Amino acid sequence: MTTPAVLALEDGTVFRGISVGARGNTTGEVVFNTAMTGYQEILTDPSYCRQIVTLTYPHVGNTGTTPEDLESSAIFAAGLVIRDLPVLHSNWRATESLGDFLIRSKVVAIAEIDTRMLTRRLRERGAQAGCIMTGENIDEADAIRAARKFPGLKGMDLAKVVSTRRNYQWNDGMIWRTDPRPPRPQNRLHVVAYDFGIKRNILRLLAEHGCRVTVVPAQTPSDQVLEMNPDGIFLSNGPGDPEPCDYAIRAIREYLQTDIPIFGICLGHQLLGLACGAKTLKMKFGHHGANHPVQELESGRVFISSQNHGFAVDESSLPGELRATHRSLFDGSLQGIAHTERPAFSFQGHPEASPGPHDMRPLFEHFIHLMINRLQSNSKARSSSKSQIAGT
């Protein structure tokens, strides 16, 4: 019948429940996410690497899973903690239940625990290391020890762990369009996207906006990228601490010497900040949800955003050439920055949503505009220099 499971936290708290995924043990940083939909997107978001994610909504698995909703090729979360895995999933697109998907992906998951109590604990004490163990005779002390052994994410470079090993092209758009306007013709703009743990919806949106995307590994040096002659450079989301990613920071500094537009999301945002001389810090329990209000400072408008980060750029450390563009209305933390001299900007939350609201999608438009502007001014410059030559 059901297999017991426990979740042990480094503070010694033990939750007893049942196993609803693969059998085995797992450790990671335990975080909670308050999004009420999108568990498949969350599990397959590479940013959750080494994190055990608790979903606060009690029923998880209602709509099963479908290959269409994958954000990467696999589940990256280290484990899943939920209140209830429903007896049946139901949705016209579903191809597999969440339970089967977890087992097939060899991911450990625990259900039937008081996830609200766990969430309150994490809120009060901050993100904690934890361990899920499944099986009949679990040694709870062992589970606590395992949790305590988890080194934490501070200083951990995970981007290069989850990144693609080789370059690839991406051309697929959205699974269904929600924008009533006709799609842009593709292949006009060439974007090189750094994969620090990139979510597919970013790629889908870039394609949707008319970009031809080349995805490159996290440690790709700048000269290789510049050789590709990109119209824009994209810095993806990803797991772990941005600080150790010196290779990326170095490359970004190179790009900032050029006039190529740069757009960063999440870890990419933190890396842009670091490259410009700002500092990053580890947050108490981070932002993980799909209901976070973010204010655009220039217009005062509020957007509901999807969030998933445990590190943040410290606004007080921003150098002169970076200005704050967005702030969280939950805690006032920095959510967006733009370079004052270069066409470079970034956002801490997830404008690609998936899961979450689409309010921040206009940032993709902005990236496109920067690339088009550059092309236009370059071609103007070329033609004016040509005409100068012709005139002499």
Partner 1 sequence: MPKRTDIDSILIIGAGPIVIGQACEFDYSGAQACKALKQEGFRVILVNSNPATIMTDPEMADSVYIEPVNWRTIARIIEKERPAALLPTMGGQTALNTALDLAREGVLERFGVEMIGATKRSIDMAEDRELFRRAMTEIGLATPRARIAHSMEEALAVQAEIGYPTVIRPSFTLGGSGGGIAYNREEFETIVARGLDASPTNEVLLEESVLGWKEYEMEVVRDRNDNCIIVCSIENLDPMGVHTGDSITVAPAQTLTDKESQRLRDASIAVLRKIGVDTGGSNVQFAVNPDDGRVVVIEMNPRVSRSSALASKATGFPIAKIAAKLAVGYTLDELRNEITGGATPASFEPAIDYVVTKIPRFTFEKFPGSNTRLTTQMKSVGEAMAIGRTFQESVQKALRSLETGFDGFDEQLRQPLSEEAATQLAYELRWPGPTRLLYVADALRAGWSRAQVFEATGIDPWFLAQIEDLLREEGRLREEGFESLGAVRLRALKRKGFSDARIGALVDRDAAAVRGRRRKLGIHPVYKRVDTCAAEFATSTAYLYSTYEEECEADPTDRRKIVILGGGPNRIGQGIEFDYCCVHAALALREDGFETIMVNCNPETVSTDYDTSDRLYFEPLTFEDVMEIIEKEKPEGVIVQYGGQTPLKLSRAIAAAGGPIIGTTPDSIDVAEDRERFQKLVAQLKLKQPANATARNEEQAVQMAREVGFPLVVRPSYVLGGRAMEIVFNEDDLRQYITDAVKVSNSSPVLIDRFLDLAVEVDVDAIADGENVLIGGIMEHIEQAGVHSGDSSCSLPPNGLSAEVQEELRAQTRKLAKALNVVGLMNIQFAIQGGVIYILEVNPRASRTVPFVSKATGVPLAKIAARVMTGRSLLAQGHTEERIPAYYSVKESVFPFVKFPDADPILGPEMKSTGEVMGTGHSFGEAYAKAQAASGVVLPTRGLCFISVRDRDKPAAVELARMLIDRGFEIAATGGTAQVLLDSGIMCRRVNKVREGRPHVVDMIKNDEIALIVNTTEGKQAVRESRSIRREAVARRVTYYTTVAAGRATCDALDHLGDIAVNRLQDLHKELLA
Taking the complex as a whole, the smallest distance from the CB of residue 289 to partner 1 amounts, in Å, to 6
Exactly one of 69, 195, 231, 241 binds partner 1 (CB under 8 A); that residue is 69
User: Is position 287 annotated as part of the catalytic site?
Assistant: no
The Cα–Cα gap between 71 and 66 comes to 11
State the residue for tokens 């013709």.
185
The footprint of partner 1 on residues 315-354 (CB under 8 A) is: 329-330, 353-354
The Cα–Cα gap between 93 and 67 comes to 9
Considering beta carbons, is residue 141 or 302 the nearer one to partner 1? Answer: 302
Q: Indicate whether 126 belongs to the interface with partner 1 (CB under 8 A).
A: no
Considering beta carbons, is residue 113 or 191 the nearer one to partner 1? Answer: 113
Single out the segment in contact with partner 1 by CB under 8 A; choices: 258-266, 273-281, 284-292, 335-343: 284-292
Q: Catalytic: which of 41, 266, 288, 339?
A: 266
Taking the complex as a whole, the smallest distance from the CB of residue 348 to partner 1 amounts, in Å, to 16
Q: Indicate whether 356 belongs to the interface with partner 1 (CB under 8 A).
A: yes
Considering beta carbons, is residue 164 or 237 the nearer one to partner 1? Answer: 237
Q: Indicate whether 119 belongs to the interface with partner 1 (CB under 8 A).
A: yes
The footprint of partner 1 on residues 8-27 (CB under 8 A) is: 15
Closest CA to 327 of 307, 354, 353: 307
Residue 179: count of CB within 10 angstroms of its CB: 11
Q: Indicate whether 91 belongs to the interface with partner 1 (CB under 8 A).
A: yes
Considering beta carbons, is residue 15 or 196 the nearer one to partner 1? Answer: 15
Single out the segment in contact with partner 1 by CB under 8 A; choices: 62-70, 138-146, 222-230, 317-325: 62-70
Exactly one of 24, 100, 357, 375 binds partner 1 (CB under 8 A); that residue is 357
Considering beta carbons, is residue 101 or 150 the nearer one to partner 1? Answer: 101
Exactly one of 57, 161, 297, 375 binds partner 1 (CB under 8 A); that residue is 57
Number of residues that bind partner 1 (CB under 8 A): 59
Single out the segment in contact with partner 1 by CB under 8 A; choices: 38-46, 73-81, 340-348, 367-375: 38-46
Q: Indicate whether 170 belongs to the interface with partner 1 (CB under 8 A).
A: no
Exactly one of 4, 86, 135, 152 binds partner 1 (CB under 8 A); that residue is 86
Considering beta carbons, is residue 300 or 391 the nearer one to partner 1? Answer: 300
CA atoms within 13 A on the CB side of 281: 10
Handedness of CA 96, 206, 364, 221 (dihedral sign): positive
Q: Indicate whether 58 belongs to the interface with partner 1 (CB under 8 A).
A: yes
Q: Indicate whether 284 belongs to the interface with partner 1 (CB under 8 A).
A: no
Taking the complex as a whole, the smallest distance from the CB of residue 175 to partner 1 amounts, in Å, to 7
Taking the complex as a whole, the smallest distance from the CB of residue 4 to partner 1 amounts, in Å, to 12
Considering beta carbons, is residue 83 or 374 the nearer one to partner 1? Answer: 83
Q: Are 244 and 186 in contact (CB under 8 A)?
A: no
Exactly one of 139, 151, 175, 319 binds partner 1 (CB under 8 A); that residue is 175
User: Is position 358 annotated as part of the catalytic site?
Assistant: no
User: Is position 49 annotated as part of the catalytic site?
Assistant: no
Closest CA to 35 of 49, 45, 25, 20: 45
3-state per-residue secondary structure call for the chain? CCEEEEEEECCCCEEEEEECCECCEEEEEEEEECCCCCHHHHHCCHHHECEEEEECCCECCCCCECHHHCCCCCCCECEEECCECCCCCCCCCCCECHHHHHHHCCCEEEECCCHHHHHHHHHHHCCEEEEEEECCCCCHHHHHHHHHHCCCCCCCCCHHHHCCCCCEEECCCCCCCCCCCCCCCCCCEEEEEEECCCCHHHHHHHHHCCEEEEEEECCCCHHHHHHCCCCEEEECCCCCCCCCCHHHHHHHHHHCCCCCCEEEECHHHHHHHHHCCCCEEEEEEEEEEEEEEEEECCCCCEEEEEEEEEEEECHHHCCCCEEEEEEECCCCCEEEEEECCCCEEEECCECCCCCCCCCCCHHHHHHHHHHHHHHHHHHHHHHHHHHHHHHC
The residues annotated as belonging to the active site are 266, 350, 352
Which residues of the shown chain bind partner 1 in the complex (CB under 8 A)? Answer: 15, 32, 34-38, 40-41, 56-59, 62-63, 66, 68-69, 83-84, 86-93, 113-117, 119-120, 123, 175-176, 178, 180, 289-293, 295, 300-304, 329-330, 353-358
